Amino acid sequence: AQKRYASLRDLPAQDRNGTTISLMMNAGLMADLPSLKGSGADGVGLFRTELQFLTRTRVPRRDELAQLYRRVMDAADGKRVHFRTLDIGSDKVVPYMKPQDEPNPAMGWRALRVGLDKPGVLRMQLQALLRAGNGRPMSIMFPFIALPEEFTTARDMLLRVRDREAQLGRPVPEDLRVGAMLETPSLGFAPDSFYRECDFISIGGNDLKQFFFAADRENERVRRRYDTLDGSFLNFLERIIARCAVSGTPLSFCGEDAGRPIEALTLAALGIRTLSMRPASIGPVKHLIRRADLTELRQIIQKARNDGQTTVRAAVTNYLAHL
Ligand code: PEP
Ligand code: MG
C-alpha cells in the first residue's frame, strides 16, 4: 500500500481549491522514525512518551531519556516534533509508578494529574526533553487536561525548568511551543483565556470521544455504538474549531480517526488544518484530499445535517466514492 502512494510523498495534501492540510505522523518508538521520511509526513504531531516507561521495571534515568529524545529530534531533521509528556494510567499501566486498584482508571489518577501531584518524574522528563531540544524548534504538550489551571501550572513548571537549565548553561530548545491536549469535554467549554494561553491545541479524539459519549474506548460492545461523524459530536468539534479561530490558536487532531479516510476528510472539511495519524495512513488520506473539494464537501455535510441525518457518514462516503 505504501508503494501505491509513493508518488505522492513529496506533494502537498492540497485539495482542488488550494486548501492545504498538514499531515503529521504519530510515533512512540525509535522504530517509527524512518517512516517520517518514507511517509512524507510534515512532522511528528504526537510523540507518545509512555513506552520507555512501560517497558521497564523502574523509572528511566534522565540521561537515558534525553539520549532517546535527542535521537528522535535528529531523525526529524528539522521537522517539528510534538512530544507529549507522560500519559500513564487508563489503558497504559506502569505498576511501579501508580496504584492499579482504581475502580475507573480512565477517569482516575492518570497523565498530567499524576505529574502535578508528584512532580518529580514530570520535572525530570521535562529536563530530558529540553536538553534534547538543544537550540532546535520543539513542541511539548500536556495530556488529559480538564481544567485551564492544570495547563497553566504545567506550562509554568516547564518554563521555570527551561529558564533554570538555561541559567546553568545547559542546552534548551529554540522556539519552544507549549500546547494542551483537548481530551475532556470540559475544555471545550473553558474560558477564552485558556484558548489564548495555549501555543497550540491538539484534540485527542480517542479520549475526547470516549468521554463525550461516556463509552469506554476499550470496550468493543459500547465503543461501536457511537459514530465520530454523529451530528452532536460534530457540533462539539465545530465549537472547538470556532473558538481556536477566534483566539488564533493552531488546532490539530491526533486521535485514530485522523487516519481513517472518511473521518479525516470530514475533519478537514469542518476546518481542522492539521491531522496526525499512523504513518501508513498518510498516503491514502493525502490521495483523497488531493481529489476532494473540501468546500463542496462541507456543503454536503451541512446539507445532510440540515436534512436531519444523525450521522453524516453516508453523505461523506457517497461523496468520496464518486471522486
Ligand atoms: C487520544 O486520546 O486521542 C490520543 C491521541 O491519545 P491516546 O490515544 O494515547 O490516549
Ligand atoms: Mg488520550
User: Residue 93's pLDDT is what?
Assistant: 78
pTM: 0.97
301 lines ligand 1 (CB under 6 A): no
Q: Tell me the chain's radius of gyration from C-alpha atoms.
A: 20
What pLDDT is recorded for position 89?
79
**How would you write the chain as a 3-class SS string?**
CCHHHHHHCCCCEECCCCCEEEEEEEECCHHHCHHHHHHCCCEEEEEECCHHHHCCCCCCCHHHHHHHHHHHHHHHCCCEEEEECCCCECCECCCCCCCCCCCCHHHCCCCHHHHHHCHHHHHHHHHHHHHHHCCCCEEEEECCCCCHHHHHHHHHHHHHHHHHHHHCCCCCCCCEEEEEEECCHHHHCCCHHHHHHCCEEEECHHHHHHHHCCCCCCCHHHHCCCCCCEHHHHHHHHHHHHHHHHHCCCEEECCHHHHCHHHHHHHHHHCCCEEEECHHHHHHHHHHHHHCCHHHHHHHHHHHHHCCCCECHHHHHHHHHCC
Residue 257 CA to ligand 2 center (angstroms) comes to 12
- Cell reading at 120: 518529580
Distance 206 CA to ligand 1 centre (A): 5
205 Cα–ligand 1 center, Å: 7
The best mutation among 254, 257, 277, 281 to test binding of ligand 1, ranked by most ligand atoms within 8 Å of the C-beta, falls on: 254
Q: Is 115 in the pocket of ligand 1 (CB under 6 A)?
A: no
- Compute CA distances 191 → 186, 194, 203, 208, whole Å: 10, 6, 17, 18
Q: What whole-number distance in Å separates Cα of residue 265 and Cα of residue 177?
A: 27
Crossing angle of helices 62-76 and 119-133, rounded to 10°: 40
Question: What's the 20 CA to ligand 2 centre distance in angstroms?
Answer: 26
Give the residue, by CA position, lying nearest to ligand 1 atom 9. 48
Q: Calculate how far, in angstroms, residue 180's C-alpha sits from the geometric centre of ligand 2.
A: 11
Cβ of 204 closer than 6 Å to ligand 1, yes or no, is: yes
Distance CA 5, CA 289 (A): 13
C-alpha 111 to ligand 2 mean position (Å): 9
Give yes or no for residue 89 CB within 6 A of ligand 1. no
Residue 206 CB less than 6 A away from ligand 1 = yes
Ligand nearest to the CA of residue 254, numbered in listed order: 1
Amino acid code (one letter) for 223: R
Query: Quick one: which atom of ligand 1 is closest to the CA of 26?
Result: 5
Residue 296 alpha carbon to ligand 2 centre in Å: 31
Q: pLDDT (tens digit, 0 to 9) for every residue of the chain, 323 residues total? A: 567 899 999 999 999 999 999 999 999 999 999 999 999 999 999 999 999 999 889 999 999 999 999 999 999 999 999 999 999 977 777 878 877 788 898 999 999 999 999 999 999 999 999 999 999 999 999 999 999 999 999 999 999 999 999 999 999 999 999 999 999 999 999 999 999 999 999 999 999 999 999 999 999 999 999 999 999 999 999 999 999 999 999 999 999 999 999 999 999 999 999 999 999 999 999 999 999 999 999 999 999 999 999 999 999 999 999 99
Cβ–ligand 1 distance for 46 under 6 Å, the answer yes
Mutate to test the pocket of ligand 1, among 47, 181, 253 (most ligand atoms within 8 A of CB): 181
- What sign has the CA pseudo-torsion 208, 214, 218, 221? negative
Give the number of whichever ligand sits closest to the CA of residue 49: 1
Strand partners, 142: 180
48 Cβ closer than 6 Å to some ligand 1 atom: yes
